[in-house]
Each structure stands twice: as C-alpha cells, then as structure tokens.
Chain A
C-alpha cells in the first residue's frame, strides 16, 4: 500500500445530497411529477400569477393602442418604468448562467441540483426583459427596424447606437441560454420518454430528446458540447450586462456617463440574480419537498455569494460617488447628491439600505441557514436592485444640465400594471416549468446519489475509512 494522499479541501467530495435519498426517490420527485396531478395550491398560485400577467397584457394593450403617454414618461424623463424593468429583469437573468455555467467550469458539483431551476430563471427573466424594449418604443409596431435585415428601403440600423449593441447582446445571450438549458434537458427528456404512459407525451419527449439513448459516444460528445457552450455562455454573461450598461455609459447624461458602469452593472446583475434564485429556491424546496436535494448547504453557499456581492456593490457605489466627486464636474456631483438628498431621496437611500446594509445580516452563519432571514434579505435585495435602476435611470434624467428643464416622474397605473404583469409572466412561466419539465437535472444528480449511497455504505462498514475519506485521504 502506497503512502496516503491527502486531497486539499477544495477537491474533497462533500456530500451533495442529504437525508433519505435514492435513485428511485429522485425519479419520483423529479420525473413522476410531470405525470401526476399537481396539488390544489398549484392551481391557486397559477390562477393568481396568470391574472397578474393578464393585467400586464391589458396594460400593454391599452398603452400600445393609446400611446406612450399613458405611462409616466415625459420630457426630460423620457425613459421610465419600462427601461427600469428591462434592466432589472436582465439582471435577474444573470444568476442562472453564473450558477450553472461558472460553477460548472470550476467543477463545483453542488451546482448540479440547482442548475436547472437557475437556468429556468434566466430564460424566463429574459423573456420578461425582452418584452420591454419592444413595447417601450413610440411606434411599437416597428421594433423590427432595430434588426439588420435586407429590406426594400435599403436601410440598416445605426451600429453606433448602444441600443443596437443591446439588441445583439440580449438576443445572443437569450438564445445561448435557451440552448444551454435545452441541452441539459436532453438526457432527462430521454428518461421521461421511457417513463411516460401517454402516447402523445411519449411522442413529444421522443422529439425533444433527439433519439438520445445514452451510450458512451453520446455521453462523450454531450459532455464536450456542454462544456463548450458553458464557456461561451460565461463570456456572454459578462458581456450582456456590460453592453446594457453602455446604453447609459455611452450617453452624455450626468450620472450615466461613467466608465465604471460595465463591471458595476455585471456585479449588480449577478447580485440581483443570486437574490432572485435564493427566493425561488426557498419557495421551491419547501413547497415541493426537495430539501434533500436543494440542501441547506446550497442555501448557505448562495447566501455567501449574496453577501460577497453585496460588499462588491457597496464598493462600487463608493467608487461611483468618489468618481463623481473627483471629477469636479458640478453636473455629475449634483446628480449624486440628488440621488440621496433630492426630491426622491428615498429611492437612493432605499437602494443603499437594501443592497449594502441589509445583506450584512448574512455574516451570521445561523442567518444564512434561516429561511425567513434569507427570504427577507433576498426580497430586500430584489427591491433594492429595482430601486437602483430607478435611481440611475429616472433620477439621472429628471435633473440634468439645465435646471429650467427639470421635471419629475410620476408613474401611472399603466406603469404599475406592466411591472406587475411582468412579475406575473415570470411566475406563471416558473410554475408551468415546475410542473412540466424535470426541475432537477436528474442525470447530473444521480451520480451524486450513487456516490452518497456508496459513502454511507462505506461508513457503515468501515467507519475509520470513511473518516479518512472525509478528511481527504485517498
């Protein structure tokens, strides 16, 4: 016997699943769900969320038929809730990728249980986000003019405009995210194809699983493709919000024209995204009894990320304020003072409180594992990040260069309706997803279960060896 090799802690395989788990149990939890009738509470929930979505659609319909003026937009605050919502949802859409992809590249196996839901959050958040640029334009029947396509007018979009970069960035990110999500689903669809009883469903899953049979060659190529896409998505995750931030940074508006914006927006996006998935997980793991798969350890790790990003955000705010002061530019200085001391001081103050102060609770380990606390903090961060976009967009526009032009933004019921509607759309899609698509990547978690069961068997048979294994001895 060779001498003992001790693995460094980061390479040790911590238990990823907890409690009473088994392959069959996972199948039952994840795959059978699709065939069982959901509980009454699901119907109630989806009824509420679809009503919200309906409200949003009616608000949009009214706005499109009557005019942008039905919202609070004015001169000088020409961009209002719709752009705030757009940036907000793009931000929420960041967590999925970051969790799923970056952790994959770092070989953090604990991501396996939560990646599917996180990716779903990304896709749905982007669906919400992409609605806004299209409906916010003055002539919403012409959004395709933003796309470069051969046309009889021989006209192209102006590639100098950050809005065009935006279109590309968001579309690319969305399509790659959808594709990545779908790729992850293929082996699970194949499992479902074998399980479902209804012929129609079987046919659907046959098509969706692309003839997957799970032989070694499939797996080899699959893993490579998965990894490649993950690499691609990572760069996109960094670029998309950088480019969204350039909508603002490339302008001359005081408070927008900042070089710090791209990294600051990316961090903000990840921050709100993590808070968003914490909220979703806190809800899903309890209501759907997935505590054994989405464990407290997951929540603890996610909360650590929230805490870390909160500190980065605080730093970013400080740097932004410092830049404003250091620039000696009166217009820029004024706007930063105005964020926290102006007519709508509460917007800036709420931003700082929710994003920098409230998450500091998570330094306490007990709080990181307390569902009520994490729900409180994550809701706070979600609100805070929305307020941050409100502050940046609306409070920068409402008092720019010439005081004679200063105005104020007053949201109308249409504004609120559309915001509520987007939340409704997101939640409805999420509920449909939870019912109809395997919400945990079963093919990725099964090896973890096998390993966990093996570990348990070992520890039952040979406690000494198990102890050595847990401390990293091979």
Chain B
C-alpha cells in the first residue's frame, strides 16, 4: 500500500481545533486505509469527503479490524471498532486462542492513548519544531561519527516480543556494530526469571492454566489484577468458580499475601503473611507434601534439603494457623496435578523456586503450568543493569543514546542521577508518543505512530503469531518506530536494498520466514487471511517438560532457610492495575477508575494495616514519608483492612509529569532497590509522619454492609447447599395496576458475583462505549463520578482480615422503576421491551430520579463535562451514543444502541433474534464471563436459565422495584479449618 500522507498542507491535523472539514477528510483518508490501497488523501481545501465512498465503509455502520497490542511480555489480540475510519472502541479478538475475545482494561483505554492531546505531532530539535529530513541528517551525522569512533550506541526499548522489531534492530546493528540494545520494563519483577534460569537453565514464560486447577495457592501473586496474564487468568479462574448447582465443581483458592489484593479478595482462605516469609512457607508446604503425603521430590534431590522447613515449626515461627496450612497440603495432595501454586513477581527467586518445587511435586508442572508452547522471554534489564548503564553513561561511553518508547528519567530507580549521567552523551534521541520526562532531556524528539497506526507482529507462543495492523492513518506527522530505525539502517549502509516501509518489511519477512512452503494458498491469500484474523496459528512441536536442577533448588532452600526475620516495615511495590508502570498516566479513564479494592482513584497511597495505623498514630489521608535509608517518598496513608501487620504496599506508576497526570500521586520508583534479589520488596523501611494531609480521592466511603446482609450475598459452599432453593416458577406479586406485558422482548441481565473477580474491565469498556466523561479528582471526591457501572465493595468480618463482598451495580432496569413516575417531564420512561429509558433531550435535571433510585445507579451532569475536552479527544466518542449536555441525568441503558442495532439486523434478515447475539459492552469485556445479557421472554435463553438459578437474588427486592438484573450469590469454598464469621 502506498504510504498515505495525511498532512493537510503545512500543518497537520490537531494543531488547531479540528474542524468538520478536517475531520471528514481524516475520515476519508483513514477509511481509504482501512479499505484497499489506492486513493490518496488530497490536499486541504480540495478534498470533498465521500464524493467517492471508499469501499467497505458505509456511513453509520461500524467496521471491525483485528490487531494486537503489546504490553510487557503480553500481546493482547484485539478487535477494534471503527466508525467512518475512526477507531472508537477496543475489545478482545474472538479468534485469539488465549484471550478468547477478552482484553485488559488498559488495552481498552488505549483509545484515549491514540487521541491523547499531548501526543507529539512533529519532530523536534532542542525544543523547536523541525522536519524529518533535518532530524534524520542530524541523527545520521551523529551515528556515523559514533561508528567511526567505534563508540557504542545505546538503544533502550521495552521488552521486544516482536520478531519483526527484533529483525529491524538486527538490521540496524549490521550497519551500526556498536549498537547496544537494552530491553527494560521498569515495573516488572524478574525473580521468576532468575529462579527459572537457575532451575531450568532458561526462562520460558509459562501459561498458567487456571481452568485446570481445582486447588490454587498464591504467594503475594495478584494474578487477577496487576500481574501479567491477568486477563487469561481471570477467565480460567472464574471457570471453576461458578457452579450451576451445589454439586458442581468449585475450586478452592488459598492466598498468602500481605496486601489485600484483588486476587486475595477472591480467596477462600486468605492468610496474612509478611512477604519475606513466603519462601519459607512455600518450602514448608513442600516439606509437608513430601513427609506427610509421600509426594516425591525431583530427581536426585534428597529430602534433607527440606529439613529446615518443618511445617509446624514454620507455622509457629510466622504465627500462622497450622490447620489451614495442613488443609492446603491435604488439598494439594488430593487433587495432585489439578492444582496450581504461584508466587508474585516481587518475591525473591527462592520463593519462586519453592513454588516451582511444589508444582513439580503435585504434577502441576506440565499441566496447569503449561510451557508446551512457551517462548523464551527476552533478556530484560534489571535495576542492577540499569545502574551499570547509568554509570557507563556517566563515563560518556556512548556516542549516542536512543530511548525508544521508554522513560528512564521517570522509571529509573535513581532518576536524578540518571538524568545527570545522561547529559554526558553527545546525542540523545527520543522516540515516543509524548514529550515525557526523558524526552525533555533529549536533543532530538521523534514522534512515533501509535500502535493503532502501526504494522507489527508478536510472538508470545510458538504456535501463534499475532499481527498488528493500523486502524487509522497517522493523525500527525509521525512515523512508526520500525520505519525510523530502518531508515537509519538504509542511510548508514547507503544501499537501497533495505525496505523501510513497515508493512512491506513485515510482509517480506513473513513471505520468507512465516509462509510455510507448500501451502496451497498463495502468499497474498495467506497474508490477507492472517491480517483479517489478526493471528496466525501455526504447527509447533511441544517443548519437552522442563527439568529441574537439584543444585539450584538446594541453593534456593539454603537462602530461604537462612533468611532472617526482618525488622521494620516490609514494603511491597507493584505496578498499578490502571496506570501500570506509569505509561498510562495520561489516560483519564484509567486515572479515574477506582481501585477495585480500595476504591481510590487519581493517585497512589501507602496501604498499612489497621494495627500499624494505631501504632504509628496515622489515619487515612495523613501524609507520611517512607524511607529506605537513602531515598524517601511522601504519600498519603490508606488504612487497608486485610493488610498484614508490619507490611505496607504502594503502587508504582504515579507521580508522572504530564497533562492529566501532573501532580497525581507519588513516584515510588525511587524506593525500588537497585540491587539485591527482590528489588520490589523492601525490607526494613521506616515511615514517619510528614507535614499535612493529602485526602484520598475515593468513589466509595463506606465499606461496611451495616448489617444489611441481603444487599450482597456471600455464601460458603455449605451455606449454598443449605440455601439452594429448587428453581420454581416465579410467582408474580399481586399488584393494583396489573403487570406490564412485553410484546416482543424483555431484556434482562445476570451477574454471577462468584465469577466476577472485580477487575473493573467492564467499567472502562462501558466508559468507552457510552461516552462517559472523566470529571477529575476534585469532582470525584465530591461524589460526582460518572461511571454507569460500578463495583461496590464491602468488607465482611474482622477488619484485620476481612472477606470482601463485591456487588456490580448498574441500572437495574426495574419493571416498577421508582425513577419513572417521579420525573415531571417524562424524561424517564419505560420501553415495551423492559428498558428504563432516559430521554436526555427531554430531561431538565430536577434530579428526582436520582433521589428516588434505591441503587443510586443514576448519574448527573453537574457541569458541562464534554465541551471543554481538548482536541482531538472528541474523536474517541461513540457516535451511536448521545454526548450528554450539562444538567441532565444519565445512566446505564443496557447499551440500548447495541440492542436496537441487533434487533434491526435480525429484522432485516427476517429471522428471530439469536440468544447471545446482542451483548452490552460490559459483558463483552468481562474476562470472567460473569455478566450475561439476554431476552427473558425466551425461556431457553442463557439469561432465563441464570435468572432461575438457585443462588439468584435481586438486590433490594423488598423495595418493590422488580429489577431486571439477577445476581448470583458469591461463593466461597473454604476448607473446614477456616472459620468464617
């Protein structure tokens, strides 16, 4: 395809406010790209949009394209919805064998990343706008000089899991032998890798097959939340958590953790530990499996290795309930390989080694720990490596430094030192989307394409290649990273052989390396099919089972046994569920998403236990200074029920400098250790009261059910057995007014609270689908958050270690909706298919409907939230949903636009609607498949069956609203040794 230039005359789009004409021309251009090659976007003022309609694009009808998004070592297969050539919504790719149509909330929010007003729009040299020719000349001169002087050139990138990018870098290295490529993920713990390399010799990134595990245990592993692979894990975990009857399978999950994580909140038995004790406890479990249940140790490993880890002694040493540990070992022994034990990325390598040992003993290695098609992880730099790099920079060792989509000036442990060291390098080149902390210190800034504007491929599994294809023309004067690097390679060799156009390069590589010889289909057919699917499934031989080296295990056991009890606070640092390592800090949707457990948004905090809050005399919102001896950080306190005594937790990724993120939260990277086995677990930190308060921005303030037991339902399996009522025909309550009749459909929803992991992906999906505004921290703290679906959290039981009850609340589309009769202007009305409709144009904003909604499901536009948003953010709006003006009420509509679309399609095709054909945005996004939508009039539909479930209940049924949403009680399957309150 020709490279389409979107440059409209002198200035590119977005420099000024986007006029309608510009917008339409953008649409035409990008639509052309989305369709076939050929038509070129014409110059400004000449273009007449859609005088010739591009093929494939029908105004008003969405197009969907498969693509792939990389984050760390994950490559999410996505399906992007485009309207008139403009991407507006991201969902998972149904064809993807791992993600199966689901994707992470951060991926979904990347729509805003594309339209981020802060994106770089032109190349810049020393702060002034420049042209590509000028910057290339400058850079090439510098690179040539480095080559001549035999000075190395540094290339710092995030993890490279793209074979194409690797090949591009190899091509560049051919022309620039001094290129030193460092891959770095600032927030990713590398303990698992170190343990694996010691144990097996290499680190094949395993797939954790949660769906195969009947018994799970985790050590500080937030596998449903902030760990890589959470999307697949949530699906697999939920798979065994939604029994249709009390007789069906329900997995059992033990969580050993210090912080109350999203994952720990789902545990059947949650055991508070200090993270430093994890390795010993894990080895003690291995000891019990061996000595009590006779499970064999690997190869030549003698049982003396486990001698220091007598379960009783370890339990006593760490003050744990022996009975619960015994229950876990008994469970593991019972289910054998249908189990899975995980350790979190922050734990030291010996904990990972212990967990690997348990998984080997149970047989889970090779079953639920699946490395059959794993690829070896790229060599990622540790904080230690980065510190070395910093020293090299300080020596002026590099002729040039290229920072590609990475931000060491923010995420490096000692950023100030790094920035200082960086200054010694004569040529600092930045490739990225925004002018971030690093860009501001670079001589040359090159704006790159967003991934929705790029071609690429990714390999995370030997039997699968994922393709990335652009959804839209580059919005600005930007180039894809690969193109920039190839350009340099081409210029440096002065040969014309190197293909620099990313798509051509990718295709050429695929023709050579991927296209299997002897395929009956032509390469073009093969390629088109792969681009269409977004993935390519390949034949690949399974890897043999990993073999454990006993020596490595002995070392691990030795270092675990010798670990001394830590004094002072243990601080756990993890990437934030929302802003990750800070790369999403500029995305308002993510900043405003309340943390699923603490309900804090717009910032991070130091979570400490209720016991410690008494000890230190601090409460929510008090500023404290956390210090590790050399560095310190000041941030507010959150007293987190369930946090282990003597431990603290803080999220990384905050304290960025940018438009949305300026002044939001505190940068915790300085507290990451720059050496040692576990950089993200700090032992012996101290906290002291700092001046002032930083009130937390929270969307929920009350976490107790106030004894209102039936607003959420949290049952143990025993209670389920007792309470399960045989499904019976629903008897309509007598009413004076007669029951409504639904001529065609009656929409309903079911939320399985047992499957729901509370990950909040539905909230972002809903926000993207329904144009829900971001209101900012000040408005959120005043109680004006706009989310149409929210997850309510209640702590049940003792506040030292409570159970967490979730409740996902959206508009319940009540048959007897209290909001309807009170509206004086009939803006709230009922449809003939059971929807509670809100007519925005008619609403005058008396807010009676909000007052009268028992679920507080309605939201109000207290200000004009949308007219002030910066260009080009408005392009992210879904044209099928009204953008609400100031002063009107709004709420969940069950995605009425999708319902009307679906019914219309069925009508056009003259057929009845199929069950599952219409899916609201929240249900599409839910990785746990906890949200089911459908027609209650069809007795055979999935929703009808779920509505009759023996653990179904309606929230606040006694108010008489007759809601259309059925909740399925959340189940816990604790071993009988765990006493529930």
Are A138 and B844 CB-contacts (below 8 A) given A74-B784, A157-B826, A404-B792? yes
Residues from chain B with a CB closer than 8 A to the CB of A142 are 844
Pairwise interchain contact B862-A69, C-beta atoms closer than 8 A: yes
Pairwise interchain contact A157-B784, C-beta atoms closer than 8 A: no
Pairwise interchain contact A403-B706, C-beta atoms closer than 8 A: yes
Pairwise interchain contact A401-B956, C-beta atoms closer than 8 A: yes
Total count of chain B residues near the partner, CB < 8 A: 57
Residues from chain B with a CB closer than 8 A to the CB of A77 are 783
Residues from chain A with a CB closer than 8 A to the CB of B785 are 75
B707, B845, B859: the one contacting A330 at CB < 8 Å is: B707
Shortest CB distance A97–B (Å): 26
A138, A161, A253: the one contacting B823 at CB < 8 Å is: A161
Total count of chain A residues near the partner, CB < 8 A: 51
Interface residues as binary, A401-443 with B (CB distance below 8 Å gives 1, 0 otherwise): 1111111101000000000000000000000000000000000
C-alpha gap A163/B823 in the complex (Å): 8
Interface residues as binary, B955-976 with A (CB distance below 8 Å gives 1, 0 otherwise): 1100111000000000000000
Q: Can you name the residue of chain B whose Cβ is closest to the Cβ of A166? A: B824
**Quick one: which of B705, B851, B860, B955 has the most chain A CB within 10 A?**
B851
Pairwise interchain contact A138-B888, C-beta atoms closer than 8 A: yes
Q: Can you name the residue of chain A whose Cβ is closest to the Cβ of B849? A: A78
C-alpha gap A73/B854 in the complex (Å): 17
- Check if A467 is an interface residue, CB within 8 A of chain B: no
Residues from chain A with a CB closer than 8 A to the CB of B703 are 403-404
A78, A162, A252, A406: the one contacting B847 at CB < 8 Å is: A78
Pairwise interchain contact A406-B782, C-beta atoms closer than 8 A: no
Pairwise interchain contact B856-A75, C-beta atoms closer than 8 A: yes
B701, B821, B860, B959: the one contacting A401 at CB < 8 Å is: B959
Residues 321-367 of B at the A interface (beta carbon under 8 Å):
none
Residues 789-822 of B at the A interface (beta carbon under 8 Å):
792-794, 807, 809, 818, 821-822
Pairwise interchain contact A163-B822, C-beta atoms closer than 8 A: yes
Shortest CB distance A112–B (Å): 41
Pairwise interchain contact B858-A75, C-beta atoms closer than 8 A: yes
- Check if B616 is an interface residue, CB within 8 A of chain A: no
Residues 230-272 of A at the B interface (beta carbon under 8 Å):
247, 250-253
Q: Can you name the residue of chain B whose Cβ is closest to the Cβ of A153? A: B842
- Check if B742 is an interface residue, CB within 8 A of chain A: no
Pairwise interchain contact A253-B708, C-beta atoms closer than 8 A: no
- Check if A18 is an interface residue, CB within 8 A of chain B: no
Pairwise interchain contact A402-B850, C-beta atoms closer than 8 A: no
Interface residues as binary, B851-871 with A (CB distance below 8 Å gives 1, 0 otherwise): 110111011111110000000
- Check if B42 is an interface residue, CB within 8 A of chain A: no
Residues from chain B with a CB closer than 8 A to the CB of A406 are 701-702
Interface residues as binary, B754-792 with A (CB distance below 8 Å gives 1, 0 otherwise): 000000000000000000000000010011110000001
**Quick one: which of A146, A251, A402, A406 has the most chain B CB within 10 A?**
A402
Are A162 and B792 CB-contacts (below 8 A) given A67-B863, A74-B783, A75-B783? no
- Check if B711 is an interface residue, CB within 8 A of chain A: yes
Residues from chain B with a CB closer than 8 A to the CB of A146 are 824-825, 844
Residues from chain A with a CB closer than 8 A to the CB of B959 are 252, 401
Q: Can you name the residue of chain A whose Cβ is closest to the Cβ of B855? A: A402
C-alpha gap A143/B864 in the complex (Å): 19
Q: Can you name the residue of chain A whose Cβ is closest to the Cβ of B828? A: A158
Interface residues as binary, A129-159 with B (CB distance below 8 Å gives 1, 0 otherwise): 0000000111110110110000000011110
Residues from chain A with a CB closer than 8 A to the CB of B850 are 75-76, 78
Are A143 and B856 CB-contacts (below 8 A) given A68-B887, A330-B708, A403-B705? no
Pairwise interchain contact B700-A139, C-beta atoms closer than 8 A: no
Pairwise interchain contact A251-B852, C-beta atoms closer than 8 A: yes
Interface residues as binary, A153-186 with B (CB distance below 8 Å gives 1, 0 otherwise): 0011110111110010000000000000000000
Q: Can you name the residue of chain B whose Cβ is closest to the Cβ of A161? A: B824
Pairwise interchain contact B887-A67, C-beta atoms closer than 8 A: yes
- Check if B631 is an interface residue, CB within 8 A of chain A: no
Shortest CB distance A379–B (Å): 30
C-alpha gap A76/B790 in the complex (Å): 14
Q: Can you name the residue of chain B whose Cβ is closest to the Cβ of A140? A: B887
Shortest CB distance A243–B (Å): 13
Shortest CB distance A8–B (Å): 51
Pairwise interchain contact B825-A405, C-beta atoms closer than 8 A: no
Are A401 and B854 CB-contacts (below 8 A) given A69-B779, A79-B847, A407-B783? yes
Residues from chain B with a CB closer than 8 A to the CB of A445 are none
Residues from chain A with a CB closer than 8 A to the CB of B779 are 69
Residues 59-117 of A at the B interface (beta carbon under 8 Å):
66-69, 72-79
A72, A161, A330: the one contacting B848 at CB < 8 Å is: A161
Q: Can you name the residue of chain B whose Cβ is closest to the Cβ of A393? A: B851
C-alpha gap A333/B885 in the complex (Å): 38
Pairwise interchain contact A139-B847, C-beta atoms closer than 8 A: no
Pairwise interchain contact A163-B852, C-beta atoms closer than 8 A: no
B821, B844, B859, B862: the one contacting A139 at CB < 8 Å is: B844
Pairwise interchain contact B826-A76, C-beta atoms closer than 8 A: no
Can you sample 27 A-B contacts with CB below 8 Å? A67-B863, A69-B863, A74-B862, A75-B856, A75-B858, A79-B847, A79-B851, A137-B844, A137-B845, A137-B847, A138-B845, A138-B861, A139-B845, A145-B844, A157-B825, A161-B823, A167-B824, A252-B854, A331-B708, A397-B851, A401-B711, A401-B959, A403-B794, A404-B793, A405-B700, A406-B702, A408-B783
3 interchain residue pairs of minimum CB distance: A138-B845, A138-B887, A69-B862
Chain B residues close to A by CB (< 8 Å)? 700-708, 711, 779, 782-785, 792-794, 807, 809, 818, 821-826, 842-848, 850-852, 854-856, 858-864, 885-889, 955-956, 959-961
